Structure 1
């Protein structure tokens, strides 16, 4: 990996604090560059006018993505789909095997983020790499899939957080049994609170997430210390053959059960794309954003393995944890291995982390929604969704639109097992969106890919191949129900294929029937030389080009400079 100057040229501009690493290649100088900051000029090479304040750094971008990943609450809320499928093996060697490939995907994504640091992220990269003929379709599929995972992120996290809160009430008062109605109302309340925070100015959000990340890290460390030192188990730890062994709770063979258990790992390790979507609000984004992606994926892999292994070595009855009357396996696990006060303390820490995670998910989702609306992906709804609030300079409309959709998704709580689909979508939709631009880069663009200042060098191709191969193999198993044959009922059905597949089928049909007529991929709103000379294959709009010096709009042609 490298952070050397890339792109064939180096331009440094006045008043750069801190200095911004250029993403320019020779001749890619935007018009009116004299009045741009370094970050504005770097964004202009990709075709966009600066609209947000750049108040994120590598650390605060990492803070948001680590909060979105939320290791402690993620592991807590997905125990059903990990250890609940394959037993302790899912937490130990299952985690190790899968994160190797997940790190390959994260590294390839970081390379894309350095080359094209925009809020559109993977969607923009897919359009650019696929070229003018197939770029709109690639961007359309990538964008909608990525928005599906973003819009399901906050409701899934808040559903898990609400479950833990109500489980804590049940631990204190064993006669209390939470209802679906109460879970829905509490989850909805959390959604509304997060939407309010995410509507604040960027600097406030950045500070909130910085505090949240510190809390996440400290809570994770405290949990890792408390469990082995306070456990009631005698002996404290299970033998290694148990902790690393398969305990199959599905009707499928052991191998398939392990593959199915990767759902928990993939859902947990899917928040590292947040720095990509925050690139337009980050200083020196071409270096800071990929670094934040790698920091998130790397720290998540290590700390997640430590916590999961600890669970595998201390859990005494997996079946009792998964089928608990508390309705939340993490709460049941804590009660099983810890004294009640210690269990409640750790559960409380997990709830606080889940709150921070849900808010991080809401921020990332709003930036994705804004970026896609800017290119009219949402049809007539794009007009209000692409507006930046003049008081907060944040996409407030996008925040509340995602919140409304998320609350509607929470109605799946009343459908029993159907609520599980929002977790499966979180993994499937994310990794489809992650892998499409990476696949295009390694299979089509190959050595023509223009690297940013942070890149993988000679390892780019093999790392991309490993990541994409993993996605192709693993995703079908996330649609499997835990039972089959006569045991399969409507209540036990895996509804992911319907909840994710039906909307995706609709948007694909929409593209071929109508959207292809007007959707041409990312819309350029600045006249600059990179696109007018056709390097990226995306033409400047013949109708509108924003003059970033005067702010006026004028006619332009794709051949003009």
Structure 2
């Protein structure tokens, strides 16, 4: 097999290639990765990364503290519709350009090398952050599970213990990814059924086991402001204009990572259709399944000692408080175990997606040390890229060793970085596709004339939500407040803006002289055969 940056010899032009390999050849690449993923496996990896059993639980408190039940019951379906529109616009793009580079490749194709450079780095930052966030969330739920089923575990638990579990999760996910691409396809197929069956079991437990449930009036009209802003008011204009949007993190973080279907397109059969379906179907089913799950959790919120719903306790303890109080130790332990296992599947899938993006971007010389990160192992897996993602994910999560009142605020910052990096990366090619208009070369799956409004709606939603996620989430994180502390700072905007400034300087001083966008790894003679 040729090296990552070497052209395929001309005699390969005579070789009979599949339709997928011909399409990839027209885009300039030889078939280096193992194309062993079915359409279901492609859908499965995005569905696994979205993981309603991960984001819905790990960020439940973020939504609940910033709005209360209405932030769950109303924000989720409304934002879900907008994200589905984003998915449709990306499905059209992957159908036309099914490459592992995905988002970056689309931007470079439609907007030139500079657009590709910025998009590639935003996408890479987002994928590494989401891998870190999911893996840390998995470690937290493993810790919660052990704390629930073992009376003595809490004595030795703490942020240090959770961080050690987090590192172990990264190591295990890396080993599984390095072993075999086909193994990852099988694991993601299993993951789908674990998520479906697990979510169904948890919903049934939450419906049957609790002695009482909250009323529909509570779930759909109750407000709660535990953000610290506006003195806890739930009637001030700022509550609706600022606090509730802070809670958008729950939905926007959970339903992300669906670009995995694009990054695995070079390993998927009938990719032009299968990867497109993988994106929008994974979003649609996750929005529906996640909403049912979140409603079941919210209806199960117990009453506090004064007979009122335990809003403050839920705000502090999240879903773990709900499960332990409403279900009891044994049932809570089962629910937490199901979720922790699902989150491990999710972390492993995130590692797969991030490593394929790293491989593709390095293949086009977009990362320092590109030759190393674009290298494939004997199993045709980008093993070096896997290790790069794992180590970087561990490093960016180090601030989670520091807590505010026992809460690792850095975890929520990492999830915000994941959302901002990924969705800003999505917005660039979506905007460029709209700008190019009817001159865009459509794939077999497309939105027809509907792209004219879909792409604009998608970009506006991304910009608005991401701007809210860069604001100080608590008063102590605002530099103009007397109670300001650096430990409370939302460092998502610092990382995002810092990265953009660094990339702008890097591009101006150096990268523009050597980064030319997607390279060709297949001899032009091969492409000419198909174009005749």
TM-score over 0.5 (shorter chain): yes
Kept in 2, the 8 Å contact 1:238–1:314? The answer is no
Matched, 1:525 2:512: no
8 Å contact kept, 1:33–1:41? no
- Following TM superposition, by how much is the alpha carbon of 1:242 offset from its aligned partner in structure 2, in angstroms? 4.3
Shift of 1:408: 1.1
1:275 aligns with 2:261: yes
CA-to-aligned-CA distance 1:86-110 (integer Å, 9 cap, x gap) = 1111111111211111111000000
Residue matched to 1:513: 509
Contact 2:25/2:526 (8 A) holds in 1: no
Question: Hey, what's the Cα distance between the residues in 2 that align with 1:38 and 1:347?
Answer: 44
1:440 Cα shift? 0.9
What's the offset of the Cα at 1:156? 1.1
Aligned counterpart in structure 1 of residue 451 of structure 2, from 439, 448, 460: 460
SS at match of 1:440: helix
* Contact 1:169-1:176 within 8 A present in 2 as well: no
Task: Indicate conservation of the 8 Å contact 2:203/2:293, yes or no.
Answer: yes
- Conservation of the 8 A alpha-carbon contact between 1:67 and 1:360: yes
- Preserved CA contact (<8 Å) 2:101 2:357: yes
Q: SS of 1:32's equivalent?
A: helix
Is 1:481 the equivalent of 2:472?
Answer: yes
Output the CA distance in 2 between the equivalents of 1:177 and 1:322: 24
Q: Which residue of 2 aligns with 1:155?
A: 132
Q: Deviations over 1:109-138 (max 9, x none)?
A: 0000000000010100001111xxxx1111
Aligned residues: 494
Please name the residue that 1:427 is paired with.
419
For 1:494 and 1:156, the matched residues in 2 are separated by: 15
Q: Which runs of 5+ in 2 are unaligned?
A: 1-10, 231-237, 302-308, 404-408, 476-480
Correspondent of 2:431 among 435, 439, 448: 439
For 1:394, the equivalent position in structure 2 comes to 381
Q: Which moved more, 1:446-455 or 1:209-218?
A: 209-218
Change (3 A) 1:232 1:409: farther
Map of 2:183 onto structure 1: 204
Within the alignment, does 1:365 sit opposite 2:354 as a pair?
A: yes
Distance in 1 separating the partners of 2:177 and 2:344: 13
Residue 63 of structure 2 is aligned to residue 71 of structure 1: no
- Give the match for residue 406 of structure 2: none
Partner residue in 1 for 2:316: 323
Specify which structure has the higher proportion of helix.
2
Aligned to 1:238: 215
Conserved? CA contact 2:372–2:384, under 8 Å = yes
Shift of 1:209: 1.4
Match of 1:185 among 164, 167, 177: 164
* Aligned CA distance change for structure 1 residues 106 and 529 (closer, same or farther; 3 Å): farther
2:304 aligns with none
Partner of 1:166: 143
More deviation, 89-98/34-43: 34-43
* CA distance in structure 1 between the partners assigned to 2:185 and 2:147 by the alignment: 35
Cross-structure match for 1:470: 461
Q: 1:498 aligns with which of 494, 511, 532?
A: 494
CA contact (8 A) 1:168 1:331 kept: no
Q: Work out which of the residue numbers 231, 235, 239 in structure 2 matches 1:254.
A: 239
Q: How far apart in 2 are the matches of 1:81 and 1:446?
A: 39
**Which of structure 1's runs of 4+ aligned residues deviate more than 6 A?**
529-532
1:407 aligns with 2:403: no
Distance 1:432 1:113 in 2: 17
Query: Contact 2:61 / 2:316 at 8 angstroms: preserved in 1?
Result: no
Question: Aligned to 2:486, what secondary structure does the other structure show?
Answer: coil
In 2, the alpha carbon distance for the partners of 1:232 and 1:139 equals 55
- List per-residue Cα deviations over 1:226-257 (Å, max 9, x = no partner): 10111133xx2334244333312220521211
The equivalent of 2:7 in structure 1 is none
Matched with 2:235 is none
Equivalence for 1:22: none
2-structure distance, mates of 1:158, 1:242: 30
1:135-150 map, 5 Å: 135-150=112-127
Q: CA deviation at 1:161?
A: 1.4
Gaps of 5+ in 1: 1-29, 533-546, 549-559
Q: What is the distance in 2 between the residues matched to 1:504 and 1:415?
A: 26
Q: Do the aligned residues in 2 keep the contact of 1:47 with 1:524 (CA within 8 Å)?
A: yes
Residue 14 (structure 1) aligns with: none
- 1:530 and 1:306, CA in 2 relative to 1: closer, same or farther beyond 3 A? farther
Q: Does 1:347 align with 2:332?
A: no
Hey, what's the Cα distance between the residues in 1 that align with 2:170 and 2:325? 30
What do the CA deviations read for 1:169-201 (whole angstroms, capped 9, x no partner)?
A: 333327526222111111001100000000122
TM-score by length of 2: 0.89
Following the alignment from structure 1 to structure 2, what is the Cα–Cα distance between the partners of residues 449 and 330? 46
Q: Partners of 2:526 and 2:295 in 1: how far apart?
A: 49
Quick one: which of 192, 201, 205 aligns to 1:213?
192
Q: State the 1:435 CA deviation.
A: 0.9
1:92 to 73, 77, 83: 73
- The answer to whether structure 1 residue 336 and structure 2 residue 336 are counterparts is no
**1:202-234 deviation per Cα after TM superposition (whole angstroms, max 9, x unaligned):** 21111111112211111011111110111133x
Does 1:287 pair with 2:273? yes
Q: TM-score, normalised on structure 1? A: 0.84
How far the C-alpha of 1:345 sits from its partner, in A, is 0.7
Check conservation: 1:243, 1:309, Cα contact below 8 A: no
| Residue number in structure 2 paired with 1:540 | none
How far residue 530 of structure 1 moved from its aligned partner, in angstroms, is 11
1:450 deviation in Å? 0.8
Shifted more, 174-183 versus 153-162: the winner is: 174-183
